Structure 1
Amino acid sequence: MKLIADNLRITKTDVQDALNVRDPRPVQDLVKLCAAKMAFAIDVNTGPLGKSPEEGMVFFIKAVESVTNLPLLIDTSNPAAMRAGVEAAHNRVIINGFSLEPQKIEKILPLAQEHDADIVGFLLYPDSRVPKDEAERFEVALELFERAEAAGVSKERIIIDPIVPPLAWEDGIVQARSVLNVIRTLPDLMGFPVRTIAGVSNLTTGAKDKAKKNLMEQAYVAMLAAAGLDYALLDILNGETVLAANAAAILAREDIFSWGMIPG
């Protein structure tokens, strides 16, 4: 299980301010911290970038690539910003992402074929609703793969995001278990090794008690590793959660165990 830093978010005041004045230093400093914590990749979460989306996205891509050669997940719902980011990037790119929403099928999915890039597929209905159970998630996954194939994107390029629910939802715990079962069984259903990604912090959306938030994320990231998750999107600067993720990944492997595997 590889860890992807989700720390670069437009919702953070310092990141938004950096964009407003086009100062790359706050972005560079944050990315350098994430890279030092051994992130596999950086999620560049710019939001929709409603004002000058192409220019804003290029600003972020250049700032990030000036301090790291790690893979980049370009995370925006704006098709113009997404295209600008993919075309500006020199690092390996993962498009994050598309769903059955018509605009994303038409505008974002083709970018994966044009640039031979991996792309995250969200298990969401065309109106952005989250499926209620495993059966519905499997149905959406099948349709995502069909749409990708029709667009000329090979199934091996798709990374499925089953959508981790907030525990605060009425059925949050049930949905969280459903996500684990989907990760575990989707490869057998599809008949090939489907890659999966999950946003760990989604689980604790709205949580105000930091200690409780950390505890639930640590427990769930271990369950995700046991289910066979390929990529965990999380706060790479949260040392406790990262340690739990790394330890869980060790236990999920079939290698001969050594205490040296565990980071100090």
Structure 2
Amino acid sequence: MIIVADNLRITRPIIAQAVERLDPAPIRDMALRCKNAGADAIDINSGPLSRRPAERMTFLVETVQAAVDLPLVLDTTNPEAMAAGLAASRRRVVLNGVSLEADKLAHILPLAQKADCDLIAYLLRPDGHVPPDAAGRMEAAVALFGECQAAGIDPGRLIFDPIVAPLAWQEGNRQNMAVLEVIRTLPDLLGFPVKTIAGLSNLTTGAPDNDLRRRYQSAFLPMLAAAGTSMLLMNVLDPAVLGIAKACRRICGSAIFTWQ
């Protein structure tokens, strides 16, 4: 299970200000903190970047690459920003991502096909809404897999995201049981060793305090690991939850276990 840091996101005021001013220091500091904490990769969540998208995404990618040598996940809804991030990348990256939404199919799929890079595939309906159950998510997976095949995307490049639901959503707990079912079922459904990713931080969106956030993430994380989740998008600066992620990885891994 690859651990991807979701800490470098434009919703954090210090990151938003750094992007606005093109100030590399806070970006570099966050990237180094994530690497030192034990992240395997860093998600650069720039949001839509409605103003100067190419300049700002280039700045983000170049700043993070200069600070750390970790793989990058380019996380933006702006195709121009995504293309600029790809152009600035010195190593292979993951695009985050595509769904059955028409604009995503039209703009993100060609970028992924041309770059021959890994691509996160969100299991959403064409209207952008989250399916309410496992059947809806698997229906989206089949349809999106077909679109990716038609676009010439190598199936081995796809990373399916079944959308972890905030617990505060109506039937959020039931939806997250569906997420586990989808992760377990996708390899048989699609007929190849499917890679998956789960956004652990989504689970506790709106949690009133850090103790509750930590408690519920710590409970759900082993379920995701046992279901076979390939990549985990999470806050790597919470040492308690990160410690559980690393322990799960060792328990679920194929290497011979030692206490050291």
TM class by shorter-chain length? over 0.9
Match of 2:55 in 1: 55
State the SS of the aligned residue for 1:108: helix
Which structure 2 segments of 5+ residues have no match? Answer: none
Match of 1:135 in 2: 135
Alignment root-mean-square deviation, CA: 0.9
Residue identity in the other structure for 2:229: L
Match of 1:182 in 2: 182
| TM superposition score normalised by structure 1 | 0.96
Does residue 144 (structure 1) correspond to residue 144 (structure 2)? The answer is yes
Deviation at 1:95, TM superposition (A): 0.3
Match of 2:14 in 1: 14
User: For each residue in 1:101-160, what CA deviation from the matched residue of structure 2 results, as whole angstroms up to 9, or x when unmatched?
Assistant: 101000011111101100000000111110111111111001111000111111111100
C-alpha separation between the residues in 2 aligned to 1:9 and 1:147?
29
**What aligned pairs does 1:88-103 form with structure 2 within 5 A after superposition?**
88-103=88-103
C-alpha separation between the residues in 1 aligned to 2:215 and 2:84?
38
**What aligned pairs does 1:203-242 form with structure 2 within 5 A after superposition?**
203-242=203-242
Match of 1:155 in 2: 155
Aligned length: 260
Match of 2:197 in 1: 197
Match of 2:244 in 1: 244
**What aligned pairs does 1:60-79 form with structure 2 within 5 A after superposition?**
60-79=60-79
Match of 2:165 in 1: 165
C-alpha separation between the residues in 1 aligned to 2:218 and 2:91?
30
C-alpha separation between the residues in 1 aligned to 2:61 and 2:258?
39
Deviation at 1:20, TM superposition (A): 1.4
Match of 2:259 in 1: 259
Whether the 8 Å CA contact 1:117–1:157 is kept in 2: the answer is: yes
Residue identity in the other structure for 1:23: D
State the SS of the aligned residue for 1:97: strand
Which structure 1 segments of 5+ residues have no match? Answer: none
Does residue 34 (structure 1) correspond to residue 34 (structure 2)? The answer is yes
Deviation at 1:253, TM superposition (A): 2.6
Whether the 8 Å CA contact 1:28–1:63 is kept in 2: the answer is: yes
Deviation at 1:254, TM superposition (A): 4.1
State the SS of the aligned residue for 2:47: coil
Residue identity in the other structure for 1:153: I
C-alpha separation between the residues in 1 aligned to 2:255 and 2:31?
32
C-alpha separation between the residues in 2 aligned to 1:210 and 1:196?
27
C-alpha separation between the residues in 2 aligned to 1:236 and 1:96?
19
Deviation at 1:170, TM superposition (A): 1.4
Whether the 8 Å CA contact 1:46–1:75 is kept in 2: the answer is: yes
State the SS of the aligned residue for 1:100: coil
| TM superposition score normalised by structure 2 | 0.98
Residue identity in the other structure for 1:94: V
C-alpha separation between the residues in 2 aligned to 1:172 and 1:236?
24
Identity of aligned residues (%): 47
User: For each residue in 1:220-264, what CA deviation from the matched residue of structure 2 results, as whole angstroms up to 9, or x when unmatched?
Assistant: 11110000000000001110000011111222234433212xxxx
Whether the 8 Å CA contact 1:222–1:249 is kept in 2: the answer is: no
Residue identity in the other structure for 2:154: S
User: For each residue in 1:153-178, what CA deviation from the matched residue of structure 2 results, as whole angstroms up to 9, or x when unmatched?
Assistant: 11111100000000001110100100
